[in-house]
Amino acid sequence: MKKRQRKFCFRRYIKNGKAVLLLGTAAVLLSGCGSGKEETVKSIKVGVTLYDQYDTFLMEMMQAFKEYMLKKESETDVTISVEILDASGSQTTQNEQMRTLVEKGCDVICVNLVDRTEPTTITDMAEKNNIPIIFFNRELVAEDLERWSKLYYVGADAFDSGRIEGELAADAFLTDDGMDRNQDGICQYVVLEGEAGHQDAIVRTECSVNMLLESGVQVEKLGYAIANWNRGQAQTKMASMLAQYAGKMELILANNDDMALGAIDALKASGIPKEEWPVVVGIDGTDPGLEAVEKGEMIGTVYNDKEGQAKGMLDLAFALATGEGLEDIELESNRYIRLPYQKVTKENVSNFRK
């Protein structure tokens, strides 16, 4: 049991009574660090390193994480300090940040990998220092997660997001005759893809198109562009695709909302009247994404439950750091927390707005 965990036991006694006092005292004595004074301060320290702090989805997820942290503190009376670092797209920087967080005495570290194929430096350091790691949002392969018993992953099921996006697009094509601009019975589409190699980019593209086909929509891919989850890049790439496929595009499938919004920026800048825009679909349900659905600029999005992921991550971090309540956390294969995606349309968007 770690020193901080022992402190936690001790403080519980103060709140909960005599029986637990004995437990807490025993733990302190066993550790050989009983000072004879009652410790009333208990705290845990959580480190977080982000692949890019300006990523909209992660910004919103971190906001939810901080909000939930305050709630958790008031519910448990444990002070939680969090240090959030930005790796600015460099795995080398992130490895150094991991070292810093270890040196600063973090009880648990949450890692949003820059390169999801390069977790080894981080997992080796974690194992050597016996600090649990919760990877999140950028999923490493199962073999890497299984390298040590205290490695976890919090995220969502990429397959579902693609399938739901495909359903949204298929529903639109099958119910709105006007979407088939050239009336050839085939849906001409383009894809805006996230980072090459990111699990969500690969799977979302494939599953959304498969779902269109499964729903009985014939499709023709006009083109695609990698815009790295980024609104500005998506706008630039879409501007050139609009010129290239003038008047032919009927559907824009974007791997996330920021890129869908970039496409909408390009459509607005092109001067094409809104009634002639291709249908735009995104994934995430970020605040600006939901707003675009509300305004009818996007026909829908797929809610990537950032609040659920933030809560899952903090509950797990808390349990790992204090040694309390791990058995109450539902873990898939002892390691994974995955939150479900949800379909968002103009009809139900208000349920998702804060």
Q: Could you say which of 76, 137, 309, 322 contacts ligand BGC (CB under 6 A)?
A: 137
CB of 289 to ligand BGC, least distance (A): 9
Could you say whether residue 12 binds ligand BGC (CB under 6 A)?
Answer: no
Q: Is 165 in the site for ligand BGC (CB under 6 A)?
A: no
Beta strands (DSSP E) in the chain are: 43-50, 79-86, 108-111, 133-136, 151-156, 186-193, 218-226, 251-254, 279-281, 300-303, 336-339, 342-345
Minimum CB distance to ligand BGC smaller for 76 or for 137: 137
Contact 191, 255 (CB under 8 A): yes
Choosing from 165, 200, 297, 315, the residue that interacts with ligand BGC (CB under 6 A) is 200
Considering the complex, what minimum distance in angstroms separates the CB of residue 273 from ligand BGC? 29
Verify binding: residue 111, ligand BGC, rule CB under 6 A: no
Nearest to ligand BGC of 188, 256 (CB atom): 256
CA distance 86 to 64: 17
CB of 11 to ligand BGC, least distance (A): 37
Among the listed residues 304, 315, 317, 320, the single contact to ligand BGC using CB under 6 A: 304
What character string, x for contact with ligand BGC (CB under 6 A) and - otherwise, covers 274-293?
A: ---------xx---------
- Please identify which residue in 7, 48, 55, 87 interacts with ligand BGC, judged by CB under 6 A: 55
Instruction: Give min distance, CB of 283 to ligand BGC, in A.
Output: 6
Please check whether residue 201 is in contact with residue 139, taking contact to mean a CB–CB distance below 8 angstroms: no
Q: For residue 193, list its beta bridge partners.
A: 226
Q: Which residue has the tokens 């050239």?
A: 182
Q: Between the CA of residue 91 and those of 52, 88, 95, 118, 229, what are the distances in Å?
A: 11, 9, 6, 8, 18
Q: Degrees (nearest 5) of the Cα angle 229, 234, 238?
A: 150
Judged by beta carbon, residue 42 or residue 231, the one nearer ligand BGC is 231
Q: Please report, as residue ranges, which positions from 168 to 197 form the binding site for ligand BGC (by CB under 6 A).
A: none
152 near ligand BGC (CB under 6 A): no
Q: Which residues pair with 111 in a beta bridge?
A: 49, 135
Count of Cβ atoms closer than 10 Å to residue 290 Cβ: 23
Locus of tokens 């919760």: 134
Shortest reach from residue 7's CB to ligand BGC, in Å = 35
Interface with ligand BGC includes 341 (CB under 6 A)?
no
Give the separation between CA 131 and CA 74, rounded to whole angstroms: 25
**Which of helix, strand or coil describes residue 77?**
coil
Shortest distance in whole angstroms from residue 89 CB to ligand BGC: 11
Number of residues that bind ligand BGC (CB under 6 A): 12
- Phi and psi dihedrals of 299, rounded to 5? -75, -20
Q: Which is nearer to ligand BGC, 193 or 284 (CB)?
A: 284
Within 10 Å of residue 35's Cβ, how many Cβ atoms? 7
Task: Pick the binder of ligand BGC from 12, 138, 231, 237 (CB under 6 A).
Answer: 138
Report d(CA 174, CA 171) in Å as an integer.
5
**Which of 313, 234, 304, 298 is closest to 266 using CA atoms?**
234
Residue 116 interacts with ligand BGC (CB under 6 A): yes or no: no
Q: Which of 13, 229, 277, 341 binds ligand BGC (CB under 6 A)?
A: 229
Nearer to ligand BGC, 137 or 322 (CB): 137
By CB neighbour count within 10 A (0-12 exposed, 13-18 middle, 19+ buried), where does 347 fall? exposed
Residues forming the site for ligand BGC (CB under 6 A): 55, 57, 137-138, 198, 200, 229, 256, 258, 283-284, 304
